[in-house]
Structure 1
Amino acid sequence: MFISFIVGFNAHAQKSVNDFIRISNDHNERRPVVVFLPGSNPNPLLVKEPNGNYFCLPAGNFDVYKIAEKYHVIIPAQPHTPVMVEDTSHLSDQYAYITDPENPYSFNIDFLKDNHLENHA
């Protein structure tokens, strides 16, 4: 299975660029698209595991690779949140990205300002 990292442009918030990942086993094949919206917390899309593999955090509750056999799966990142995290000390108990490992509620201030529905549409 191939995971690609693509930078997309959000037409509704013309001042910003949104990162997202596309999961597919064949990027050249035309097929339907499933857009998975991961929720409202500043969770990164990928977390590096101790064994060196990456875990797709928002897709942890379903078999995204099985879905990707028939669909292109798109998962947008939260604003002002890293797409990929290797240092898990910057993740809270709920896997939210925090700026201060000593404070589990230290969300990026720009994330708090920009995390509303109009920026995701």
Structure 2
Amino acid sequence: MAKRARKTKYDRYLETRLWNWKEKGCTNPLSSQQLMAELRHYFGLKTSNRKFRSKLMKKIRRARERVSKRWNRWQKNRKLWAEMLGVDEKKIEKMLREKLINNKRDVERLARCLKIMGRI
């Protein structure tokens, strides 16, 4: 099994920022330059070094890929999860924002709890 590098605070910030941007439904994407400026502002980074700047651009690209993959998976599963729990998609979105569900296993666990309580 390949070792995975731990996410840095920059990775976490970028993913959160890009996810929240998608969640708001904004049509125009955040530019890499804008994200770079935010990183400079919030973390006090000096991006005058060309090598460091290229590493940050690589982090931004990877964060975009991860968020895009996660977003597409979420869009695909949202309808299925709503059917499993017997609720509408808006409630599923709210559960995701409240971090009650993250994956299919969480949804199945929640469905079992609701079944035991007689709600499904």
Higher relative contact order (CA 8 A, sep 6+): 1
The structure that has the greater radius of gyration is 2
Say which structure is richer in helix. Answer: 2
**TM-score band w.r.t. shorter chain:** under 0.3
TM-score normalised by length of structure 1? 0.27
TM-score normalised by length of structure 2? 0.27
Say which structure is richer in strand. Answer: 1
